[in-house]
Amino acid sequence: MLKRFQESNPTKVDIWRQPFKPNKPVDIVVSPAVKRDLLILIQMFRLHFEEVLPDLSESLSKVPRASSLSQRTHVDEFSLDEYHTYDEINWWLYDMERRHSTMMTVFEVGRSWEDRSMLAVKISSPDRTSASKPAVWLDAAIHANEWIGPATLLYFIQQFVTNYDHDPTVKKLIDTFDWYLLPVFNVDGYVYSWKEDRLWRKNRSKQGNSTGCVGVDLNRNWDAKFEEHTVTDKCSAIYPGPSAFSERESQVVSSFLRRHPVIVAAVSYHSYSQFWMIPFGYSKSKHPSNYNQLMNMSAAAVEALRQVHGTQYEYGSIDDLVGQTFGSSIDYIYDTLGIPYVFGVELRDRGHYCALLPPNQIIPNAEESLAAITKLASMIPETLPGNRESSESQ
Ligand SMILES: [Zn+2]
């Protein structure tokens, strides 16, 4: 019903959260011109509905624009309870590296389609004489409009390097693992979401088509049953690209992960929905070989998260929670790279502010997310399965 409604009003209807199973919520944006028609349909089918952003353009008008921000010049002026531009984030990362050079290294994972630097951080304990440790990979904003992801990873970085000396929990995290964090995966899209279109999701690669539509959904572009996708419309927000790994951003991250077999766990942060997800997205019936272990870790992470501010997450496979997806990063990382502990996390909220989560939720979201990742890391066994044991380091 929704599909037909959208097809008959393609420019006036946008579906943010797709319908894929009965009794799952759907988020839909309509222009005022078709709002009445939608309400009639809802009544006809006796659906439960809630109006969450009554005036989207007004909500969007409150979002800060890159150009309206003055350049911060000192790290103390950079507060973690605000969203930050790509330039501000990079500047802050280098400044933090200067202040915490014994623990933190900033490096370029690769460069984007528009030739921007994709900066990541390695955090390890100051005692560098210790042997190479297993490592954890965290990334955010593979989808440009999911600003809460980078904000969350910046909080993690700040907590890791400033609390190492006086918080035993943080010390243990860093003494046990090396941490790689990529706060802004889709750098071009992120910049575009600040300058032009707050809700932009894809990267910005030219697709050479007459419609002028650009960009690929970087979380549909990995070589995980890529060939089974059915989306060929280059204007679609989930266009997976002409071939698996056609995009520079997904290429450089996958090759970094391949070159670093010390990485034993990976978490990719998205928003929104409050889901803690495990592979697979591409199959309804296939489960990871360590399914029970991944589910137990997810249950514990979600419970640790809930204890901080009472926020409820659901956990399960991608296919169970958001529906079938081909070409996703976590399926590829699990299947092809053989990293055994792989998760996709949909951060706050559950569909009230959607992608426009207010800044006053950044810190609470980050605090509970840190509790979850701490719990998760504590459950990674010391003896690791598979062939990811190696002494290679960054
Ligand atoms: Zn996402």
Q: Distance between CA 19 and CA 17 in Å, rounded? A: 7
Q: Where are the domains of the chain?
A: 2-51, 75-193+242-378
By the 8 A CB rule, do 328 and 219 touch? Answer: yes
pLDDT in tens, 157-172: 999 999 999 999 999 9
By the 8 A CB rule, do 139 and 181 touch? Answer: yes
Q: Backbone phi, then psi, for 336, in 5-degree steps? A: -90, -40
Q: How far is the CA of 143 from the centre of ligand 1 (A)?
A: 5
Q: Distance between CA 370 and CA 80 in Å, rounded? A: 14
Confidence band, pLDDT 50/70/90 cuts, at residue 392: very low
Q: How far is the CA of 172 from the centre of ligand 1 (A)?
A: 30
Average pLDDT, stretch 94-99?
95
Res 80 pLDDT > 50? yes
Q: How far is the CA of 186 from the centre of ligand 1 (A)?
A: 11
Residues with CB under 5 A from ligand 1 (ion): 143, 270
Fold type of domain 75-193+242-378 = Aminopeptidase (3.40.630)
Which range, of 30-39, 61-70, 349-358, averages the lowest pLDDT? 61-70
By the 8 A CB rule, do 332 and 222 touch? Answer: yes
The reported pLDDT for the residue numbered 393 is 41
DSSP H/E element including 11 = none
| Highest averaged pLDDT of the listed ranges 14-18, 32-36, 80-84 | 80-84
Res 49 pLDDT > 60? yes
Report the chain's mean pLDDT, rounded to a whole number. Answer: 90
Provide the token pair at 269.
């942060």
Q: How far is the CA of 346 from the centre of ligand 1 (A)?
A: 7
Q: Which residue has the higher pLDDT, 388 or 306?
A: 306
Percent of the chain whose predicted confidence (pLDDT) is above 90: 71
Q: How far is the CA of 166 from the centre of ligand 1 (A)?
A: 34
The reported pLDDT for the residue numbered 341 is 98
By the 8 A CB rule, do 28 and 14 touch? Answer: yes
Q: Distance between CA 125 and CA 85 in Å, rounded? A: 29
Q: How far is the CA of 4 from the centre of ligand 1 (A)?
A: 25
Residue 326 CA: distances (Å) to CA of 109, 200, 296, 332: 24, 20, 25, 10
Q: Which residue has the higher pLDDT, 130 or 358?
A: 358
Catalytic annotation, residues = 346
Confidence band, pLDDT 50/70/90 cuts, at residue 380: very high
Provide the token pair at 35.
């709002």
The reported pLDDT for the residue numbered 388 is 55
Q: How far is the CA of 269 from the centre of ligand 1 (A)?
A: 7
List 110's β-bridge partners, or say none: 118
Q: Distance between CA 177 and CA 136 in Å, rounded? A: 7
The reported pLDDT for the residue numbered 66 is 60
Q: How far is the CA of 267 from the centre of ligand 1 (A)?
A: 12
Percent of the chain whose predicted confidence (pLDDT) is above 70: 91
pLDDT in tens, 215-258: 999 999 999 999 999 999 999 999 999 999 999 999 999 999 99
Q: Distance between CA 57 and CA 277 in Å, rounded? A: 31
What sign for the dihedral angle of Cα 95, 133, 339, 379?
negative
